[in-house]
Amino acid sequence: MNLSYLKYAVEVEKTGSITKAAQNFYMNQPHLSKIIRELERDLGCDIFDRTSRGMVPTKKGEEFLRYAKAILVQEEQIEALCVKNSEKALEVNLCVPRATYISYAFSDFLKHMDSCPSVNVHYMETNSRDTIRGVSGKTFDVGIIRCQALYESYYMKLLQDENLEWKELWQFSCNVLMSPSHPLASRDKLTYLDFTDYIEIVQGDIQNPSFTFEAQDASATGGNSKKTVSIYDRGSQFELLRQLPGSYMWTSPVPYGCLTSSGLIQKTCSYPGNIHKDLLIYRNGYRFSKEEEEFLRCLSRMVSRLSD
């Protein structure tokens, strides 16, 4: 039985009129009359007597309406319980690039979730195009995409086409991540040309757009290195940097704590177009939850520390 039908019947009893009840539910009178007749047919008895004084419950109808009101009260209690639980639940859906500073900020955010009785968090690291599709398709509520400044107009057009809004989180230059035993670890004033003969670790699912509409290599320098290894897991990338002699990787500035724990170092290195932006993206008109706002504050603090 449709619970809405119970609400309609109770309202008819309250107003004593199908016409007034229909007005209160913003429906036409014939439609509500049909619903009441269907309800009576399903019950096998009349709920109301149609009199000159209006709609008056029959004896069977009075009994039915008592049960209907009790059911509706229970429904309200269940809804209130769901609202109460949802207010206490921590629910966040994020899609972001593989960036250590973001994962560190996210870890700081999660440290505040101890008081939440229910936690439902989805955190995915992937490329910018998949992030845009995920947020646009409502798989994720909020995303962060990374773009080289050279391709910013391309991504702006893509976001507009998907009806997404954006805010700039951080503009930075990429560093080179490597082992302290790397042959270039002690060198100053490095350029991308110094790494031509070394092994570059790249993120396997990252591709830059090109002005010929063909996918380009994920390398930050557009494939200058003669040797590349494409990896899809950030933990494996760090392990290769530690174990594979001469390997290196372009990355956003890495927190000092991560460098210490992973046994790696980062070096500034110049190459043409070494300006990148991380953009916060979300659907047009989307309202951030208090949890999402707290994560963004953690992210802002992390960016401030790395920018000092």
At residue 210, the pLDDT reads 44
Based on the fold, state whether residues 266 and 181 are members of the same structural domain. yes
pLDDT for the residue 300: 94
Same domain, 160 and 298: yes
Q: How many domains does the chain have?
A: 3
Residues 178, 261, single domain; the answer is yes
- Choosing from 41, 57, 80, the residue where a domain stops is 80
> Tokens 């042959």 belong to which residue?
183
* Residue 87 φ then ψ, to 5°: -70, -30
Amino acid at 247: S
Alpha-carbon distance 81 to 72, whole Å? 14
pLDDT the model gives residue 115? 66
Instruction: Write down the pTM of the prediction.
Output: 0.67
- Residue whose token pair is 């973001």: 102
Q: What is the pLDDT of residue 5?
A: 86
State the angle between helix axes of 128-136 and 152-161 in degrees (0 to 180), rounded to the nearest 10. Answer: 20
Say if residue 248 is in the same domain as residue 161: no
Residues 155 and 286 in one domain: yes
Same domain, 163 and 180: no
Do residues 106 and 227 share a domain? no
Q: Rounded to an integer, what distance in angstroms lies between the CA atom of residue 105 and that of residue 101?
A: 6
| Per-position pLDDT tens, the chain of length 308 | 677 888 889 999 999 999 999 888 878 889 889 999 998 998 899 999 999 889 999 999 999 999 989 998 888 888 776 655 555 566 789 999 999 999 999 999 988 776 666 778 899 999 999 999 999 999 999 999 999 999 999 999 999 989 999 999 999 999 999 999 999 999 999 999 999 999 999 987 766 554 333 333 455 555 567 888 988 877 788 899 999 999 999 999 999 999 999 999 999 999 888 999 999 999 988 989 888 999 999 999 999 999 87
3-state secondary structure the chain: CCHHHHHHHHHHHHHCCHHHHHHHCCCCHHHHHHHHHHHHHHHCCCCEEEECCEEEECHHHHHHHHHHHHHHHHHHHHHHHHHHHHHHCEEEEEEECCCHHHHHHHHHHHHHHCCCCCEEEEEEECCHHHHHHHHHCCCCCEEEEEEEHHHHHHHHHHHHHCCEEEEEEEEECCEEEECCCCCCCCCCCEEHHHHCCCEEEEECCCCECCCCCCCECCCCCCCCCCEEEEECCHHHHHHHHHHCCCEEEEECCCCHHHHHHHCCEEEEEECCCCCEEEEEEEECCCCCCHHHHHHHHHHHHHHHHHHC
Considering the domain architecture, whether residues 11 and 56 belong to the same structural domain is answered as yes
- Looking at 62, 80, 98, the residue that finishes a domain is 80
Check which CATH number belongs to the domain holding 158 and give it: 3.40.190.10
The rounded distance, in Å, linking the Cα atoms of 9 and 15 is 10
Tell me the residue range of the domain where 61 lies. 1-80
Question: In the listed set 46, 80, 114, which residue is the last one of a domain according to the structure?
Answer: 80
Do 267 and 279 share a domain, yes or no?
A: no
Whether residue 226 is found in the same domain as residue 213 = yes
| pLDDT of the residue at 212 | 36
Instruction: Using alpha carbons, select from 77, 62, 75, 76 the residue that is nearest to residue 9.
Output: 62
Task: Answer yes or no: do 146 and 178 share one domain.
Answer: no
Other CB atoms within 10 Å distance of the CB of residue 108: 16
Residues 96 and 218 both lie in one domain: no
* pLDDT attached to residue 231: 86
Q: What is the pLDDT of residue 166?
A: 94
